[in-house]
Structure 1
Amino acid sequence: MNLKQLEAFVQVAEEGSFSKAAKELFLTQPTISAHIASLEKELNVRLFIRNTKEVSLSEDGKELYKYAKPMMDLERKIEERFGSGEDTAKHCITIAASTVPAQYLLPEILKRYNEKYPKEQLKIVEMDSAQVVLRVIDHMVDVGLTGTTLEKKHCKYVPFYKDQLVVITPNTEKYRRLGEESAGDISWICKESFIMREEGSGTRKEAEKQFARAGIDVGKLDVIASIENQETIKKSVTQGLGISVLSRLASKEEVEEGHMLAFPIPGADKGRDINLVYNKNYQLTRSAERFIRVVKEVYGLEQ
């Protein structure tokens, strides 16, 4: 076993692909495959479950990753300290983000980070909120941005933004009239075709909580579709397929342009927290620490 084999293993685990890992490491795919095969033979385990669409870690693979990832992090720290020097070395931070923070909050953060640390590189992976937390727990990313918190002792959550949810509808006479006549009562949504975000979405989980507080039985909604991509949801709503619930951030542009209407959910508080999350059981890299400081600066949090 050697560091090159472990480096290939960690990269495939994080990319979910042999070809992507090869590209990131500037190696050929056969070389990556040979490293993994040698590692599996030496350890006498199967590290990956392969199918036609993706590569995922086996249970033994997950166990090995917990040891291999810190070793790769330590190797990087040694290179940073004794290599070409901090002024010339490029470091990379991997950030997992759910849809809303990835599309509407990260751009400003990345701009500020790049202004302060132009030699740093960032890798962004977008996934649903629950997956973000799981990636952080498994130490497959440096930090995460998510609207969901899971009760895991390894995680440290830093709320940095309040996100409100709204019910979105087409901008038609029917819904304009409903908005005027309902006076804050949105019980009428139970009679409409409803489009939900996918399972695991932080928006969906929070919407279910807020609907319950507003006295709306989610089980009685006429859900006609469950869609992952919120751009698809917005286009479906504007074309009259149904109504939905989304972040106010995500619907702001369409509402301002008059393509959609947005109705607040009665009884909702100031909004759900969008959190920065990291695994407190592992030492953060210097780049990750810098990123966290920039997030706090951008959103006015105490350092």
Structure 2
Amino acid sequence: MIEQLKTFVQVADSGSFSKAAEKLFISSTAVMKQMNLLEKQAGVPLFIRTNHGVSLTKAGTAFIKDAEHMLQYFQESLIRMHQSAQANRHIVRVGTSMLNPCKVLIDLWNGISDLYPQFGINIVHFEDDAHTLPTTYRMIGQSLDIIAGPFLTDNLKDYYRVLELGSYRVCFAVSRQHKLASRKTLCVEDLYGERLAVVNGGNSAVIHDIRDFLKMKHPQIRIKDVPRLYDLDVFNRCEESNTVMLTLEAWADIHPSLVTIPSDLDFTVPYGLIYPLHPSKEVGQFLEIIKEMQGNVLPKVE
């Protein structure tokens, strides 16, 4: 009915079915069908049709003002409805960076967001800096509600809750000028004689296990321990020094001058969501929805 009223007002203003069709971006046939149906519903003719166009009958002239008022009321009602919905909408603030991309969460949420219109997501960017990242994590529960990314700091659970969503394969990254850069995959033996940067400022048990495995089983690789958190400066330094770097498949496009190559290492690093020990009721409800998708149930938020 609303579309019919819009078309009726446009035809009345244009004085022509074809001109109204052009302005409404529909066919003249569609306009005539709508107006024929409107007249049938009204029970009286609304237009005088001539070879030169159309004009309103007395009934049509009496109806045009009411039609305009109904359309205006409808638009105002839509505005009030959206304002009411926004007032009751809960915004979840999700942190994102190059090394902690929120895409994995956004992809999950986009698949079901229509079912939960009461929730919205606000993306908050932060920098990957080994010196300031600990401060960024302290923002969780304050200016951020959730950070998505790999779990490379084992003491996270002492300060935050984590929701595991999957795992990333461990890979090797080399400069595009490196002799191994053209390889599709890399075996550990391919790194014999190479320097391998192992970054573990987060004291990750998985990274410790990889390092110990390589030192014990493959001493031909020169391990370069990097006791800091991963950040873009680490990628830059490895590229500049032509050092192979232990990395993750999720970071394949981080540095344009590095090539990320799958490895035969049988290790993976878990990834997921990091959120406060005591999330707000709304954030807790949002996380319950995500966890239900994973087949688990979060503790109820009181």
Length-normalised TM-score, structure 2: 0.48
The structure carrying a bigger helix percent of its residues is 1
Structure having the higher Rg:
2
Length-normalised TM-score, structure 1: 0.48
